[in-house]
């Protein structure tokens, strides 16, 4: 599969933004499946359990979300997890699927885990300026080694 270019990524981001608005206006409560992404931030909670591999499904609705702000590269919202409100930054590139409660409308899209391929201005790059990529043969994607989601498990204790 060809590497995505910046134009393709921007078009898909815009499409995902428009879909987010449509789902918010039409359904009030809907679900967003976000895959693990270097720019995904979920407050102090982070990704837990199997979420670092399979992603997380978030509820967006009048009782579960507040202070939603749609930006160029991400959407910000405060989402409720149990009784705790967490600040959440969802990168458009990590949003995989939208669906409503009845799952009659499901929209599944491509995700981008790395930064877009922008051709270098000159060929004067030193080895320190390049990032090593790791290929995932099963999914056909590559990830930069330095992009790791950090999760703080220290605050939770099991009894």
Q: Is the pTM of this model over 0.75?
A: no
> What is the pLDDT of the chain when averaged over all its residues?
77
Show the DSSP H helices in the chain as ranges.
Answer: 6-27, 51-54
Is residue 131 pLDDT above 50, yes or no?
A: no
The tens digit of pLDDT for each residue in 49-84 reads 999 999 999 999 998 999 999 999 999 999 999 899
DSSP for 141-155 reads EEEETT-------TT
Residues 110-129, mean pLDDT to the nearest whole number: 54
Cα distances (Å, whole numbers) of residue 153 to 45, 137, 147, 158: 8, 30, 19, 11
């Amino acid at each position: 599969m060809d590497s995505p270019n910046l134009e393709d990524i921007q078009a898909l981001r815009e499409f995902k933004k428009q879909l987010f608005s449509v789902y918010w206006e039409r359904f009030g409560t809907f679900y967003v499946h976000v895959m693990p992404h270097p720019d995904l931030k979920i407050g102090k909670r982070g990704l837990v359990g199997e979420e670092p591999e399979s992603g997380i499904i978030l509820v967006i609705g009048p009782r579960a979300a507040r202070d939603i702000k749609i930006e160029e590269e991400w959407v910000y919202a405060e989402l409720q997890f149990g009784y705790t409100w967490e600040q959440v930054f969802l990168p458009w590139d990590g949003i995989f699927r939208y669906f409503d409660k009845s799952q009659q409308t499901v929209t599944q899209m491509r995700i981008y885990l790395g930064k877009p391929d922008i051709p270098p201005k000159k060929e004067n790059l030193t080895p320190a300026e390049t990032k090593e990529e790791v290929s995932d043969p099963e999914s056909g994607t590559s990830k930069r080694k330095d992009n790791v989601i950090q999760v703080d498990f220290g605050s939770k204790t099991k009894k």
